[in-house]
Chain A
Amino acid sequence: MKPAPFTYEAPTTLAEAVDVLGRYGDEAKVLAGGQSLVPVLALRLARFEALVDLNRVDELAYVREDDGAVVIGAMTRQATVEADPLVARSVPVLAEATRLIGHFQIRNRGTLGGSIAHGDPAAEYPAVVTALDATVTVAGPGGQRQIAATDLYDGPMTSTLSDDEILAAVSFPVWGPGSGFAVREMARREGDFATAGTVVGVTVADGKISRAAISLFGMGPVPLRARAAEAHLVGADASGLDLTEVGAAAVADVDPPSDVHASGRYRTRVASRLVARALESALQEANR
């Protein structure tokens, strides 16, 4: 249960971190909060020639408002996100989802960017960025570029970042007035990864739904958007919706995995109910 030997690099600026990472190519791994990476190393599921530790890169830890969006540095601890007043006001579902991550000891160390870059398909943050149409800023040798969250994942724990790039920040667009959100998940025990879960956002104007987003997690190799169900919602009357029908539509085209925790069929049934409940709660919040 001890990691294999590695070279330890501790840059103090993002530029230096990109530089150091570039020297190793795919032989190095970026170390953020370490709450997923260190177990992987301890169990020897992976080994790297070097770890590039971002914990001393202070410029990557911040929460700020920027042109109608909330921008959060990659090394912002989950516990900070959970308690941040700007997040609570402008991206409340992010704070709500954070409380479902692991335990408080994990959130004290775990980071926003680490979880999103790791891309566990059953994790909360990847589903939040997918639902909210967030944008990720990555830094590499050629400078910075933006990736839409919906283009961020290739497969389980595989992002579209290249080996020499570092996830630097995440930008969450602030939805307008009349919006409501909810996250719901089912896990066997508190703090476990979700068997199935969903993040829902809606905007209601003049009693009609003008914007809807539904993402599903634990339901496939990457966080999924339930586009058909969203299309069904947009333009619909916000009251008198058949929530069960929307839930069923959200999982109609999904083929979730079967594993020791749950069969795919069970996941489908759970996710369908969770979408209905999350939507109900999001609509209530939107109408407030």
Chain B
Amino acid sequence: MTDPHPITMTVNGQERSAIVEPRKTLADVLREDMRLTGTHLACEHGVCGACTVLLDGEAVRSCLVFGVQADGAEVTTVEGIAPAPGELSDVQAAFRDCHGLQCGFCTPGFVVSIHAFLEKNPSPSEEEIRSGLSGNLCRCTGYTGIVNAVRQVVRERAGGAPAGSPPNGEQPTEGPPTQGVPTIAGHAVTTLPSAP
């Protein structure tokens, strides 16, 4: 039985099947067999969090689960987080607004983790946000932009103003550094087109 096993799981709402070797991790099954390469692999031993997916609704490291173990399960990857193709989830939009990414390699893991984290704790304190982010590593941003993105989502979901539109021109007391800059479709424009 090192032989390949047939498995079926619901991935982003669609039933998908594959025939996989037992040693193949869920991350590799998603990337290679399901062709869902949004789930990234960096450390491959459970440290970095880049491969985070939702397994039956709970955020897990998909490099620490074997594909055969997910037989019959429901999996949501970063591809299933956005409301529709070409659209961003509020967490993804906040990452763009707040410079929550630079190279972007770790971003899918952060986005999935943050969606799961805010599901359980919709109004986290500053300390809880940092604790909630501690299972994902980012080597570019220094985390400040990511923390700001989480704060923005918390504010927005609580009915607060999105970035770039403080009520009546008031100065925000806290928020991402992009607040108050011009917006397109509600999202801050921080890179101006260069002159011809």
- In the bound complex, what is the Cα–Cα distance between A103 and B116 (angstroms)? 13
Contacts of A97-128 to chain B: CB distance below 8 A = 102-106, 108-109
6 contacts between A and B (CB under 8 A): A3-B23, A6-B2, A10-B69, A42-B45, A50-B1, A108-B55
A260 on interface, CB distance cutoff 8 Å = no
Number of A-B contacts (CB under 8 A): 93
Q: Which residues of A contact B66 (CB under 8 A)?
A: 8, 34, 38
A190-B131, A191-B134 known; A5+B23 contact, CB < 8 A: yes
B180 on interface, CB distance cutoff 8 Å = no
Q: State the interface size on chain B (CB cutoff 8 A).
A: 34
**Set B46, B68, B130: member contacting A38, Cβ < 8 A:** B46
- In the bound complex, what is the Cα–Cα distance between A26 and B51 (angstroms)? 32
Q: Which residues of A contact B55 (CB under 8 A)?
A: 108-109
Q: Which residues of B contact A241 (CB under 8 A)?
A: none
**Set B24, B28, B45, B135: member contacting A191, Cβ < 8 A:** B135
The residues of A with any CB-CB pair to B shorter than 8 Å are 1-10, 34-35, 38-39, 41-43, 50-51, 53, 55, 79, 102-106, 108-109, 189-191
Distance from A279 Cβ to chain B, minimum over Cβ atoms (Å): 25
Q: Which residues of B contact A8 (CB under 8 A)?
A: 1-2, 5, 22, 66, 68
Q: Which residues of B contact A102 (CB under 8 A)?
A: 135
B49 on interface, CB distance cutoff 8 Å = yes
A5-B23, A103-B135, A189-B134 known; A43+B45 contact, CB < 8 A: yes
Q: Are B49 and A10 in contact (CB under 8 A)?
A: no
Q: Are B134 and A42 in contact (CB under 8 A)?
A: no
Q: Are B64 and A35 in contact (CB under 8 A)?
A: yes
Interface of B is mostly: mixed
Distance from B109 Cβ to chain A, minimum over Cβ atoms (Å): 9
Q: Flag B1-38 by CB within 8 Å of A: 1 or 0 each.
A: 11001000000000000000111110010000000000
Residue of A nearest to B56 (CB): A108
The residues of B with any CB-CB pair to A shorter than 8 Å are 1-2, 5, 21-25, 28, 44-46, 49, 52, 55, 58-61, 63-66, 68-69, 113, 116-117, 120, 130-132, 134-135
Distance from A107 Cβ to chain B, minimum over Cβ atoms (Å): 9
- In the bound complex, what is the Cα–Cα distance between A32 and B13 (angstroms)? 27
Q: Which residues of B contact A9 (CB under 8 A)?
A: 1
Distance from A185 Cβ to chain B, minimum over Cβ atoms (Å): 15
Q: Are A105 and B113 in contact (CB under 8 A)?
A: yes
Q: Are A55 and B131 in contact (CB under 8 A)?
A: no
Residue of B nearest to A192 (CB): B134
Q: Are A190 and B134 in contact (CB under 8 A)?
A: yes
Distance from A104 Cβ to chain B, minimum over Cβ atoms (Å): 6
- In the bound complex, what is the Cα–Cα distance between A64 and B163 (angstroms)? 47
Distance from B52 Cβ to chain A, minimum over Cβ atoms (Å): 6
A6-B22, A8-B22, A105-B135 known; A1+B68 contact, CB < 8 A: no
**Set A7, A34, A79: member contacting B65, Cβ < 8 A:** A34
Q: Are B2 and A7 in contact (CB under 8 A)?
A: yes
Among B1, B23, B131, residue most surrounded by chain A Cβ atoms (within 10 Å): B23
Residue of B nearest to A56 (CB): B69
Q: Are A79 and B45 in contact (CB under 8 A)?
A: no
Residue of A nearest to B52 (CB): A105
Q: Are B45 and A7 in contact (CB under 8 A)?
A: no
